[in-house]
Structures are given as structure tokens and as C-alpha cells.
Amino acid sequence: MSVVFLCVGAAKAGTSWLHSQLSAHPECHFRSIKELHYFDALDDGTMGRNIQRIQSRQIGLLERTGGGIKATPAQAAKIADGSDWLDVLEKEAEDSGAYLSYLRKGASDRQIIGEMTPAYALLSAERLAKMARMASDVRFLYLMRDPVERVWSHVRMIAGRRDQDGVVTGRRCDRILRRSIAGDETQIARRSDYAGTLRRLAAAVPGGRLLIEVFEEMVAGPGLARICDFLGIGRISPDPVPVHEGHSLAMTQAQRRAAAHWLAPQYDAAREALGRMPEAWGREV
């Protein structure tokens, strides 16, 4: 029986890197669409938007490959993955059996199947509990990054998206950070709420089926080894190359202090969940 592995965030905490690492693992099977956004779309009523997202992906792939005729094996697999996923989404109704069948297709004898959607960190405890019951062995991973570093990475990403040329400026980042601290950038604030996610996961996921891990320790090696042990698969050496490096822009000391003060409850929640404060994390309050 397969283990269903769900990495539920946090955003900007290494989920793309982990997807790349485990996709290459001989005991794991992940489809090429890393973030399926199935359960959040069901709960938020955004299934139509999710369908449009995958359709756009398909159109782009087909345009680049002459309708699939010139596709490489990797591109052909991506096209097939998108087509199969659209079959599930176009039901526009919850069907956990179809969802699991999609994950399992092509797995052969590989024991780990799953996906990684950071938006699942925002789901209700009720939804998370329902996900935990959809198969006999569902395991959850929640990755946490130094809260200040995570929020600054998120701020830079949003700043790039709001510029028509993708340029990230210090002024725009400062404005977004200030708005986040003031409660006006709700998505950044919600994605930064480790405490809330940890409470919901603890209430929803049975003991032994939830691993809380640290991004900095994962990419250094020890955390990745713990993830492999949690899944019951052979350990692998981490690839130090980041998948999404993001825009480079340093925080000022004033920004760092303000963010650390705002995020103090998240440091406290992480320390309580882990039983320690990660050595790689700084904290200037």
C-alpha cells in the first residue's frame, strides 16, 4: 500500500527544492505538477480558476512542442500529467478517489506518492482531518523557515509580481513589508502564521503522521535525512542548488528588527513545536 505524502508548506520554505529532491528518489513518485491546489480550490470555490491555470499550462507546453509532436520525454510526461489532472478537475466536485488515482498513476512499485501545495497550510482543521482520513496511510510535512527570512523572501516575490518588468526595488519591498506588519497584506500575514497552522495540524493529524521540519536544516542535510526516515525511504544527499533562488535584495537592520518583533509569536510557536530554537535562525527583537 502506498504512503500518501502531503507537504503543506510553508510558502517560501523550500517546498520546490524538496519536490525536486524527492522526485529523483527511486522510492518516490511525484507527478510533474508540484502544486495541485485541489483541496484549497474545493473549499474556496476556485476550482474554475484552477482549471484555467492547468489549461494555460497545457497550451504553453503544446505550443512549445508543436502540438506535442516535438516533445521530449520530459515534456511529454508533463503534457500527460496535465491532461490527467484536468480529467480530475473537470468533475468540479470532490472526488478523493480520483485524486488518489491521479497520484498513483505510473507509480509502479514506488511506495511514496503525493504532492506539495503550500496553500494547504491555510486549510481548516476540519479539512486537514478529512485529508488525513482519505487513505490508510497519509503523512504530512510542514516546513518552517526562519520567519524573518521567509517573510522577506515572500515580500520580494510579491514586489516582483507587482512590477510590469519584474523589477524588485527597495522602496516597493519596504512598503509591502510595512503593509504586512500593519495587517494590510493579508496573504503574507496568513502565510507567516506558523502558530495557526501548527495548531490546526496538531488537531487534525494523528500522532506519528506529522513531521515538523526546518528549511535550513533540510537543505544542509540532517533535516532531509529526517524526512526520508519519516517516509521510510533510503536517505539521499541534498543538492545544494536552489530551485527558485528569487530576487536578491538585503533587508536593512531596521526592517529586520521590525519584522522580528512582528513575528515573535511565530518564533515562539516554532520553538514549542520543535522543542528547541533552530541554531540557524536569528532573532532580533
- Annotated domain spans of the chain: 33-104
pLDDT digits (tens, 9 = 90+) for 62-103: 999 999 999 999 999 999 999 999 999 999 899 999 999 999
Q: Could you tell me the three cell numbers for 251?
A: 533587508
Residue 285 has pLDDT above 80, yes or no: no
Residue 279: CB partners within 8 Å, gap ≥ 6? none
Residue 284 has pLDDT above 60, yes or no: no
Mean pLDDT of 104-111: 96
Residue 247 has pLDDT above 80, yes or no: no
pLDDT given at position 246: 67
Mean pLDDT of 173-200: 96
pLDDT given at position 283: 61
pLDDT digits (tens, 9 = 90+) for 25-38: 999 999 999 999 99
Residue 243 has pLDDT above 70, yes or no: no
Residue 47: CB partners within 8 Å, gap ≥ 6? 41, 89, 92
pLDDT given at position 244: 64
- Angstrom CA distances, 248 to 15, 22, 30, 170, stand at 19, 27, 30, 10
- The pairing of beta strand 28-30 with beta strand 112-116: parallel
pLDDT given at position 282: 77
Residue 23: CB partners within 8 Å, gap ≥ 6? 30
Min mean pLDDT across 82-96, 142-156, 235-249 is at: 235-249
